[in-house]
């Protein structure tokens, strides 16, 4: 299966139609059922490779990020999800990147780097798994290697409220209030100027600050910036 954007159906007529229909339907559900709100510290680049580095609270997170952003996002998907052909066709049309968890981390990184170099915006959850407590976990360093090799900017994003709506202990989600806080871009020249450990520390600090802001706003505080 090709992992290049446009060759797997993501930019076919079917892919564009499916994405558009799902976006409209899911946007309506997201706002009415989950009270989804997002704020951007600055506009995202309209084109070119971009890492969307997000905290990971629930299965809803890739959908929430896609609804918040004007441009299409690619998310990582376990290769086993493609075993059921109809579902595999759908996630291929939505620009998913198949990742084999049994293969080496280097193989997975190369797939993501190729997609970024082709100009895609790719979602990465640096914690590696959904939170068990609703709080930020420790970041793994793989994204730093990817960002440096691909030479693309990073936008940190904190998701708050999704854990309350759909924690690991629940089979199905419940209504709630979800907020996404998008921070300022970390540009390629900034990324190149620090080592991997420094980049991980910088991103961890930014995500923690965005997480705190999102929690504060959910409790009634006001902030400036573009909100959707």
pLDDT digits 0-9 by tens, 67-98: 999 899 999 988 887 888 887 777 787 788 98
Whether the full predicted model's pTM is greater than 0.75, yes or no, is yes
Residues 6+ apart with CB under 8 A from 106: none
Whether 128 is covered by a domain: the verdict is yes
End-to-end Cα distance, the chain: 36
**pLDDT tens-digit readout, 157-208:** 999 999 999 999 999 999 999 999 999 999 999 999 999 999 999 999 999 9
CATH number assigned to the domain comprising residue 211: 3.40.1130.10
Predicted local confidence at residue 8, as pLDDT:
38
Whether 197 is covered by a domain: the verdict is yes
Whether 175 is covered by a domain: the verdict is yes
Give the whole-number percent of the chain exceeding pLDDT 90. Answer: 68
Predicted local confidence at residue 83, as pLDDT:
84
Q: How many structural domains are present in the chain?
A: 1
Whether 6 is covered by a domain: the verdict is no
Distance (Å) of CA 34 to CA 30, 182, 202 = 5, 18, 30
Where in the sequence is the domain holding 110, given as residue range(s)?
Answer: 13-227
**pLDDT tens-digit readout, 102-156:** 778 899 999 999 999 999 999 999 999 999 999 999 999 999 999 999 999 999 9
Predicted local confidence at residue 224, as pLDDT:
59
- The three-state DSSP-derived secondary structure of the chain is CCCCCCCCCCCCHHHHHHHHHHHHHHHHHHHHHHCCEEEECCCCCCCCCEEEEECCCCCCHHHHHHHHCCCCEECEEEHHHHCCHHHHHHHHHCCCEEECCCCCHHHHHHHHHHHHHCCCEEEECCCCCCCCCCCCCCCCCHHHHHHHHHCCCEEEEEEECHHHHCCCCCCCCCCCCCEEEECCCECHHHHHCCCHHHHHHHHHHHHHHHHHHHHHHHCCCCCCCEEC
Average pLDDT of the chain is: 89
Whether 189 is covered by a domain: the verdict is yes
Burial 120-149, CB ≥16 within 10 A → b, else e:
bbbbbbbbeebbeebebbebeebbbbbbbe
Residue 209, Ramachandran bin (φ over 0: left; ψ between -120 and 50: alpha; else beta): alpha
Predicted local confidence at residue 221, as pLDDT:
63
């Amino acid at each position: 299966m090709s992992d290049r954007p446009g060759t797997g159906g993501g930019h076919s007529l079917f892919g564009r139609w499916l994405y558009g229909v799902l976006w409209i339907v899911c946007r309506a559900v997201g706002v009415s059922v989950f009270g989804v709100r997002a704020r951007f510290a600055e506009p995202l680049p309209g084109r070119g490779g971009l890492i969307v580095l997000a905290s990971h609270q629930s299965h809803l997170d890739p959908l929430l990020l896609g609804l918040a952003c004007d441009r299409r996002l690619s998310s990582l998907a376990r290769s086993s999800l493609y075993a059921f052909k109809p579902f595999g066709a759908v996630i291929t049309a939505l620009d998913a990147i198949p990742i084999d968890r049994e293969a080496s981390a280097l193989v997975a990184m190369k797939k993501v780097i190729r997609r970024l170099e082709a100009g895609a915006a790719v979602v990465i959850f640096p914690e590696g798994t959904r939170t068990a407590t609703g709080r930020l976990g420790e970041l793994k360093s793989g994204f730093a290697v990817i960002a440096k090799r691909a030479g693309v900017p990073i936008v940190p994003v904190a998701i708050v409220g999704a854990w309350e709506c759909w924690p690991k202990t629940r089979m199905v989600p419940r209504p709630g209030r979800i907020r996404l806080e998008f921070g300022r871009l970390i540009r390629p020249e900034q990324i190149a100027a620090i080592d991997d450990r420094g980049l991980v520390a910088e991103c961890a600090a930014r995500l923690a600050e965005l997480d705190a802001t999102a929690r504060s706003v959910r409790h009634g505080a006001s902030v400036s910036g573009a909100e959707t």
